[in-house]
Amino acid sequence: MGDWTGELSLDLENRNGKTVAGNVFFQGAFKVMRPIYHDDSGQVCYYLLNPGGGYLDGDRYRMKISAGEDSKVTLTTQSATKVYKTPKDHVYQESEILLKKGSYLEYLPDPLIAYENAHYKQKNVVRMESGSTFLYTDILTPGWSPSGEKFSYDTIQLKTEIYLDGKLGVFDHIKLSPEDNSVEGLGFMEGFTHLGSLMAVSEETDNQLLDELYDKIYSEQANIKFGLSKLAIPGLSIRVLANSTQIIERIFNDCHKIISRKLNHATPRSLRKY
């Protein structure tokens, strides 16, 4: 395994209308549960889990996912990703996702919780062929600290690169370093504690879909701030600032249903296990 604390590889393919794994490999503190089919659409769902219960000082994780032509998959996690204090070295996780023509992959992990003195870096690289669809969410949550401070973690850094037919179409970089900058102010968290991001890349996205999503989020009664925009490639991006995980999860669940209906894909009623 080398320097990897946990490593996972999953190759998916369409067999007679049903998505199955052609290859599954994992070792260390990174595992995948058995496949679940929520309905008769053929779309498969996999739960990823860390049997250690959280990420610790110097942990390194790598995930490689390949979705073959016309395969359809939902990836999620069994529970929140908890990053504990990292006094010596940061935690690092990288994901490489390959989407072939006609494939549909949604990666919907539970929230990332960064506790006091946590230093976490993440890099996602997605390579898509024309005609494929990618849907991704993440939610950043500050963990409890003895001092009671809202932002007691050291650094959270997330990078996402999306390539369409070999050309870079999206580069998204989020970096929150409370020790270096006041993240509570304008241009950062702006008085909120939780940050959610949703990204959808598909040739089926259009202005009507953006309008419908905007109206749905705008009707949310909770205290939030949000932004919705087109990507440089066919797709959209949503950012939500709020003061609780549940509010962002509710908004993203509603958006997920709207997007899935637009793209004519099955949507599991619930992915959570609580």
| Pairwise CA distance, residues 2 & 244, whole Å | 38
For residue 37, what are its two tokens?
A: 């089919």
CB 58 within 8 A of CB 25: no
218 three-state secondary structure: helix
Q: Is 0.85 topped by the overall pTM?
A: yes
Cα(first)–Cα(last) distance of the chain, in Å? 33
Contacts of 189 (CB under 8 A, 6+ apart): 151, 176, 183, 195, 241
Q: Parallel, antiparallel, or unpaired: how do β-strands 194-201 and 133-142 relate? A: antiparallel
Question: Residue 269: what pLDDT?
Answer: 58
Question: Residue 244: what pLDDT?
Answer: 94
Q: What is the DSSP letter of 55?
A: B
| Pairwise CA distance, residues 243 & 241, whole Å | 7
Question: Residue 186: what pLDDT?
Answer: 62
Q: What is the DSSP letter of 123?
A: E
CB 198 within 8 A of CB 170: no
3-state percent breakdown (helix, strand, coil) of the chain, nearest 5: 10, 45, 40
Contacts of 61 (CB under 8 A, 6+ apart): 4, 5, 6, 7, 29, 30, 50, 55, 92, 93, 94
Reported as a pLDDT band with limits 50, 70 and 90, residue 267 is low
Question: Residue 59: what pLDDT?
Answer: 96
Domain of 127, in residue numbers: 6-190
Is the confidence at residue 265, as pLDDT, over 80?
no
Give the position of tokens 């490999």: 25
For residue 138, what are its two tokens?
A: 């993440």
Q: How many CB atoms lie within 10 A of CB 177?
A: 15
Structural domain count of the chain: 1
| Pairwise CA distance, residues 172 & 159, whole Å | 6
| Alpha carbon distances (Å) from 95 to 121, 144, 260 | 12, 27, 23
CB 52 within 8 A of CB 29: yes
Strand-pair partners of 11: 23, 66
Q: What is the pLDDT of residues 164-222, one digit of tens each?
A: 999 999 999 999 988 777 777 666 788 899 999 999 999 999 999 999 999 999 998 88
Does residue 262 belong to any structural domain of this protein?
no
Does residue 145 belong to any structural domain of this protein?
yes
User: What's the mean pLDDT when you consider all of the chain?
Assistant: 92
| Pairwise CA distance, residues 102 & 133, whole Å | 7
Does residue 263 belong to any structural domain of this protein?
no
Question: Residue 270: what pLDDT?
Answer: 63
Q: What angle is formed at CA 116 by the lines to CA 115 and CA 119, rounded to 5 degrees?
A: 75
Cα R_g (the chain), whole angstroms: 18
In this structure, what is the dihedral angle of CA atoms 109, 125, 160, 44, given to the nearest 10 degrees?
-30
Question: Residue 126: what pLDDT?
Answer: 98
